Amino acid sequence: MHILAKRHNHQTTAAPLRLINVSRRGFMKGTAGLALGLYVAPLALGPCGQALAAGEGGEFAPNAFLRVTPDGGVVVIAKHLEMGQGTYTGLATLVAEELDADWQAVSVEGAPADTQRYQNLLFGIQGTGGSTSIANSFEQMRRAGATARAMLVAAAAERLEVSPDSLSVREGKVIHQASGRALGFGELAEAAAGQPVPEQVELKSPDRFTLIGKQRLMRRDSADKTDGSARFTQDVQLDGMLIAVPAHPPRFGSRLASVDDAEVLQVPGVVASVRFPSPTRDGDLVAVLASNTWAAIQGRDALALEWDDAQAFTLGSDEIEAAYRELAGTPGDSVTRRGDAAAALDEAAQVIEADYVVPYLAHAAMEPLNCVVDLQDDHCTIHNGEQWQTMDQQQVAQLLGLSPEQVTIHQLYAGGSFGRRANPISDYVLEAAAIAQAARAQGQAVPIKMVWTREDDTRGGHYRPFNVHRARLGLDADGKPVAWHQRLVGQSIMLGTPMESMMVQDGIDPTSVEGVAELPYAIPALHVELHTPRDIGVPVQWWRSVGHTHTAFSTESLIDEAAVAAGQDPYRYRRELLAEHPRWRGVLDLVAEKAGWSAALEPGAEGERRGRGIAVHESFSSYVAQVAEVSVADDGQLKVDRVVCAVDCGVAVNPDMIRAQMEGGIGFALAAALHSELTLDGGRVQQDNFDGFQVLRLNEMPEIEVHIVPSAEAPTGVGEPGVPPLAPAVTNAIHAAIGKRIRRLPIGDQLVS
């Protein structure tokens, strides 16, 4: 079953695969272009399930996902990157649940790059993204734990000379209840390694869970991050290593014309400047190598560079928007068509028309991009907060003339990512490898740590795309929607990447239209069109929740306008239109109840007007509804006071982390709704640090409540689904407070008179 099989029947009713955000799941295996199918119901360990027998020093390693040490420790091998989202804890919970391990004895380490053993079962490659870590690992990791448990029990039965059925396992011990004898996992490790690997194991029923779904389970990465022992890329120190800081062009598409490094070599600590062919930009670039980061930055800034802008992108944000608005007035590629929307709009009693505009956005993770490359004659070792193992490994190998097996990647923690480290063309990893290769050719055969500054990170491109949506919604005499037409204009994330041939069909990039192409509301006629400009030279890629970031803003704003135009309650209006979608209605009902939707808002301070707004959206197979409460002062100053969130993400493996991810997603989205944007002037990005590209300040964080819908469904994503409903919930609340519709983000000073 191919991921795209239903997604791109553009002339009929959209029937997308609800299980997947194709933006980070429907990939090919590396650059070879092999089509992937959807992995359904992983019932076995798959290619990763082979026994590894005894590890070093008497360790027991029954499969690729865990090992038991002689002292009784359980080490879980995480194929997914831990970048703050709690993946290490979630994966460890699944293993420890079926193993009946002592949670305090469980630790986690990142898996090496090995697609055969550690592939994401929903991607077909090894990588983290699309909020898939728990979704694709839920049964696989549990089976890994259950397999180890069975082998430990078998070893204990032999040693104690009893039947395996007479033994139980609890908190890292195999216990013979009749005699009271108990053996710890460590005591059994060596013997367990000699046991045959069972072909079938029985998994626990939910009523027997002791860890899954339980509150206040201590995160497995908390101690390391608290005491400073956690290793991020910036912490890596190798013998002889030099720091490399590259110089990037001021405009996208500019070429390096000349370099004068005479002043650079006078900077204390600078060793050399290295010119190298850029793997992902036009022409050559130059990097400064130094013994420390500060010297490398000073040296880079001392370079006298001349840039050739003949092929550079030189438009400003206003010009891009004007071009997009012009395109929005012309027919685009048809994405979804059911009924005759044009005819229904002509006959509608009332038509609402609106343009929605969202800006370029940087990922702005806490840790700017960096990568360590140790290049040898016949091997390359990379140390990285690695999100994209298979693609990075293959593309680095191709650049260096090596086989993928000659590229080793050590996975470290990452200080956030929001998609940036899963770059479709492996831009920053390839840049680090290219610098190391050029340095080696120049006589610097040492490990290289490439570091981008915050300014490099902000101006480096690969942003959430700028988008303009033009929408028309027709209502009948009773205020019910009869037709919806929406035309989207925005760059494709997939075009120009190794995924283009697989993902873009009939000119449609599914990441551009997800969230609107499959609109759930019961509207008889729906027509969605897309314009994909190919002459905008600003690099773009997925950003936390990908296309849903802008489609949810447009759809949940427009449906709110319809409810108000119909004179109906926005919550109940949505609810009626979602009669065929019980999980959508489930989160909508829960959030309305918990937010006290039917009760009047408490009045604000003197001169303040208060409002409450609602929004609901599905992304990454999870359903999230949010209610925002805002206060608007006389001078237009906005305060988001409270956000209530309801989420249905299937089985709640770690409820505390689900709440944390919803809270984090709300804060992340609120920054974008209130402040964040990247603008261009003559092709130059105007923002370079947090003074210009504003993230959320502590005093702006609202009170947040998160409520989880109890569910027996398979677990789905939580890292990203908290983002999409926030902006429309806030802007709908603003309208409820002061009667003003916000149709472009960020809100900025639009309320200030």
- pLDDT for the residue numbered 40: 29
Confidence of residue 6 (pLDDT cuts 50, 70, 90): very low
Pairing of strands 333-338, 525-531: antiparallel
Region 543-567 average pLDDT: 98
Please state whether 99 falls in left (phi above 0), alpha (psi between -120 and 50) or beta.
alpha
Two tokens, residue 554: 């447009």
Tell me the chain's radius of gyration from C-alpha atoms: 27
DSSP 3-state of 525: strand
Structural domains of the chain in order of their starting residue, each with its CATH number: 41-227 (3.30.365.10), 233-311+369-451 (3.30.365.10), 329-361+463-738 (3.30.365.10)
Residue-wise pLDDT for 16-74, tens only, equals 222 223 333 333 223 232 222 222 233 335 444 444 445 567 899 999 999 999 999 99
CB 699 within 8 A of CB 640: no
- Spatial neighbors of 378 by CB under 8 A, at least 6 apart, are 402, 406
Two tokens, residue 659: 């709440």
Q: Which of 494, 480, 474, 489 is nearest to 542 (CA)?
A: 494
- pLDDT for the residue numbered 45: 57
Region 498-508 average pLDDT: 90
CB 630 within 8 A of CB 740: no
- CA 241, CA 292: separation in Å to the nearest integer? 9
Backbone angles phi, psi at 735, to 5 degrees: -65, -40
Residue-wise pLDDT for 689-718, tens only, equals 999 999 999 999 999 999 999 999 999 999
- CA 377, CA 422: separation in Å to the nearest integer? 27
Region 379-384 average pLDDT: 98
Q: What is the mean pLDDT of the chain?
A: 92
DSSP 56: G
- pLDDT for the residue numbered 56: 63
CB 393 within 8 A of CB 380: no
Angle at 727 between CA 477 and CA 360, to 5 degrees: 115
Region 387-396 average pLDDT: 97
Backbone angles phi, psi at 46, to 5 degrees: 65, -145
Residues 97, 100, 104, 110: what is their CA dihedral angle, to the nearest 10 degrees?
-50
- Spatial neighbors of 266 by CB under 8 A, at least 6 apart, are 302
Confidence of residue 215 (pLDDT cuts 50, 70, 90): confident
Q: Is the pLDDT of residue 584 over 80?
A: yes
Q: Is the pLDDT of residue 565 over 80?
A: yes
- pLDDT for the residue numbered 216: 87
Region 170-194 average pLDDT: 97
Region 627-651 average pLDDT: 98
Pairing of strands 380-384, 407-411: parallel
Please give the C-alpha separations between residue 298 and each of 244, 287, 290, in angstroms, as whole numbers.
11, 12, 10
Residue-wise pLDDT for 434-475, tens only, equals 999 999 999 999 999 999 999 999 999 999 999 999 999 999
Least confident of 14-28, 280-294, 658-672: 14-28
Region 389-401 average pLDDT: 97
- CA 38, CA 15: separation in Å to the nearest integer? 16
- CA 529, CA 520: separation in Å to the nearest integer? 17
Q: Is the pLDDT of residue 13 over 50?
A: no
CA 181 to chain centre: 48
Confidence of residue 644 (pLDDT cuts 50, 70, 90): very high
Pairing of strands 467-475, 481-490: antiparallel
- pLDDT for the residue numbered 502: 86
Cis, bond preceding 746 (omega within 30 deg of 0): yes
DSSP 3-state of 261: coil
DSSP 3-state of 336: strand
Q: Is the pLDDT of residue 10 over 70?
A: no
Q: How far apart are the first and last CA of the chain?
A: 55
DSSP 3-state of 180: coil
Confidence of residue 550 (pLDDT cuts 50, 70, 90): very high
Backbone angles phi, psi at 327, to 5 degrees: -60, -35
Three-state SS letters, 567-607: CCCHHHHHHHHCCCCHHHHHHHHHHHHHHCCCCCCCCCCCC
Q: Is the pLDDT of residue 397 over 70?
A: yes
Q: Other CB atoms closer than 10 Å to residue 113's CB: what's the count?
A: 27
- CA 148, CA 133: separation in Å to the nearest integer? 21
Q: Is the pLDDT of residue 7 over 70?
A: no
- CA 395, CA 151: separation in Å to the nearest integer? 39
Q: Which of 595, 578, 619 is nearest to 733 (CA)?
A: 595
Residue-wise pLDDT for 231-256, tens only, equals 999 999 999 999 999 999 999 999 99
For 72, half-sphere exposure in the C-beta direction (CA atoms, 13 angstrom radius) is 15
Tell me what percent of the residues of the chain surpass a pLDDT of 90: 91
Q: Is the pLDDT of residue 5 over 50?
A: no
Amino acid letter for position 593: E
